Amino acid sequence: MIAIQILEQVINGLLVGAYYLLIALGLSLIFSLGGLVNLAHGAFYALGAYFAVKLADALGFGGVLLVSPVLVALVGLIIERFLFRRFYHEDPALGLLLTFGLAMVAEQTLRVVFGAAPLPFSIPEVLKGQLLVGDFIYSKYRLVMLAIAALAVAALWFLLQRTPFGRVVRAG
């Protein structure tokens, strides 16, 4: 019984670690490519979550998995074009202040638009329930999220290590 509880906690830790890893990889890529520490990175992550919650009824779970990151990328491209680009060759402290201010503005804007209370997000029927293996019980949804995070990390590794674009990124 103790071994099962340890296994559940290890998988929980892997899942939370995978979420943090994805956020950290994005932050690291932005810093390595632009030399800008983006303190607003968490706000972009939150914006993606709000997009997913608001679009879930119209697009379904699979749709928001695809559309939400694209929408955040478009917002990111606009902000990069009109704000970040000006600070790439400036004192790093200026970029740090810009992204800190952007994070504060984004956080308060999200709070005004969506409220401070947590928003419900329903799990699709196919992912509801648990996986039962002997005495081991674990949420199907969490296992799928862990698999998606692992696939995203593997895809990023492939992009950076095995493509011409990745060679350019690593050279930078």
For residue range 21-55, list pLDDT tens digits in order.
Answer: 888 888 888 777 777 888 888 899 899 999 999 99
Q: What is the pLDDT of residue 134?
A: 73
Q: Is 119 left (phi over 0), alpha (psi -120 to 50) or beta?
A: beta
Angle 159-103-49 from CA coordinates, rounded to 5°? 60
135 neighbors 4 (Cβ within 8 angstroms): yes
Closest C-alpha to 105, from 75, 147, 143, 65: 75
Read off the amino acid at residue 31.
F
pTM across the whole model: 0.77
64 burial type by CB count under 10 A (0-12 exposed, 13-18 middle, 19+ buried): buried
Q: CA 37 to CA 101: how far, in whole Å? A: 12
pLDDT tens digit string along 102-128? 999 999 999 999 998 988 888 888 888
